Structure 1
Amino acid sequence: MHFIDSSPTCHRPLSTRIWLQLLALGIAIGLLMLSGCRAGGPGTPARTVSAFFAKYRDRPGFRTTEWSADLLQRLALVRVGKLLGGNDLTNAITGIRTARVMSFTPTSGSAQGLVREGLNNEVSGLLQAERYTSLVNSNGGAATYQYVVKASGDQVSELVATGALPDALGSFVLVQVQGNFTRSQAEALSKVLPEVVQQTAGK
């Protein structure tokens, strides 16, 4: 007498298992490629704004200016504030702990190579990874800046701006301001940053 085994089998055909393994491998490779695109860049991608400043400080085409390193830079900010802002701007300037700008112009072959290797993608990727939230857009002369902040409710601890230098093809500007501001104070500060960049970073 023959008995028919009706219990469910635990084995899939070999071809099915191979197909599933290949599918899983393809998904894994796709995710790795997507991650690389978001955080790409020359060498090891910077994961934070501070790491980006440290990585490129002495590279060809880059110029870094510390705005709060001495009292004279702070006074320059105050003078601009008196011309262009009110109490919110004055209070924002008072709340600054550190402020710096990095400008980049691809004026040499090595600097242009950084652009080809994904420099701009690196900047965009680290801002996405750090989960900043959008603030406002402000026009400074011919340059348009994008602003993001790290905030808890109405309290802002960091303002980051990205943009470009006027009449400098392929250039970009990265500004990092850390301190203690309200959102309205950060918005007031964002309106003067392009002018301050022009005064302190230039071309």
Structure 2
Amino acid sequence: MWLVVGLGNPGAEYEKTRHNIGFMTLDSLVGMSGAHSASSSFHGELFKKSNLLFLKPTTYMNRSGLSVQAVKQFYKIETDHIIVIHDDLDLPFGALRFKQGGGSGGHNGLKSIDAMVGNGYIRVRMGIGKPVYKSQVADYVLSDFSPEEQRLLPEWIEYAAKASLELIRHPIDYVASHYTVKKPVWGVS
């Protein structure tokens, strides 16, 4: 059994924000896999397709670990079979990287998951860029993508969703060598 988690904040006011790129990618995964709604308990929305579970925590970002822990315990999922898709300030918009374990990088959703289930899960890091000043981080992650970024989002989200599924089929090193995007190419013909 595998659990794929997309991080974000519930509510229409956060729907198109940078912090919700994990939710957006999870929605794409649910659609492309044909998963069906399995439960609205576990402090989140849970979807299922054979041995794959897809989770959107509804606890707000800084309490995402409650949702992940509830699903992990109920379905007895090993930590290394959990994939978390999240926004990453340290990467430019459109970059995509993969990592297993390590620190949270200051990401409140990852801090919460680390505290509840440990940090041995796989991370799909989706770059959102960062503001000029550190004091602007909270407003920046909760702001909508620019019109140009919004135009490029569908292609990038689809690519990230496909790469996330590859993590279930192949070791992380293989996926990282084939799907990492360091310099974004979205919208380039």
TM-score, normalisation: structure 1: 0.26
